[in-house]
Homo-oligomer: A and B are copies of this chain.
Amino acid sequence: MAAQVNDGTDREASAPPVIVLVETQMGENIGAAARAMANFGLKDLRLVKPRDGWPNDKARAAASRGDAIIDEVRLFDTLEAAIADLELVYATTARPHDIAKEVESPAVAAVEMAAAARAGARTGVVFGREKWGLTSDEVGLCDRICTVPVDPAFASLNVGQAVILVAYEWRRLVLGDAAWTPFVEKERSPQASKGDVFAFFAHLESALDKVEFFRPAHKRDHMIRNLRQIFQKARLSEQEVRTLRGMVAALEGRPTRLDLARFQEMRDAAERERGVRNRDEE
């Protein structure tokens, strides 16, 4: 068989893992899992014998905007049946089982599931009961073990918390950029260029020279470096540089842009007024 060429175009299309919850006791946890899945792009939720039956109002309430996932939940009598159509399946466990299987973090599992999905495989992650997790027989049905890198002294995540971390790692991987955010800084004017910032420094320093701020004289260079550092750290926008220059002009007693604009407005108003009066007099 020839190896297939991967040109990277299928990256976004990789099918996300199926989430399988075995004998979950609390509907709230099923809902929390659905909510986590919806936020991170997972879709297929399967339940093996949920304690309180199905449908479950508490699950729907806790799912929040994940109700599309709740609508499509599939029920199974056994874990075998729930994962029969998958090719690579992870059992999540918080403690070692007496079974020789590779143990992987959610980050590594996400990488492997994405690679498998890109090659056409369907993947899944299985989560056990709130009180005691998965049986060794259930773990034995899976290919590998996935476990969250908790502090061993406190290992105690609930099933909703474990699902969100697995789903989050999937999305982190699919995004391919740990710095990605769903929105960016609001209405920020463009970053000021270094030239704009240097012109502001010249303005500020000349204003401060006039009021003999830099004393004693031999400390002038040092003081200027410290002042400049304050504004460099702020990574000013163009608008912020204009604001600061207006502020310095105001403190200097020079007319500000606002003063000039108001003056212009007053003059315009006066001229209009004069125009109106002239028309009245005609």
Contact = CB atoms under 8 A, between A and B. Distances in A.
Contacts of A155: 39, 182
B101 A151 contact: no
A102 B149 contact: no
Interface stretch (A157-165, A244-252, A259-267): A157-165
Nearest to A151: B41
Contact of A107 (B150, B156, B164, B179): B179
Contacts of A35: 156-158, 161
A250 B35 CA distance: 53
B183 A95 contact: yes
Nearest to A180: B149
B32 A97 contact: no
A71 to B, nearest CB: 14
Contacts of A38: 151, 154, 156
Contacts of A96: 183-186
A101 B39 contact: no
Interface of A: 32, 35-36, 38-41, 64-66, 95-105, 107-108, 145, 147-152, 154-158, 160-161, 164-165, 168, 171-172, 175, 178-189, 237
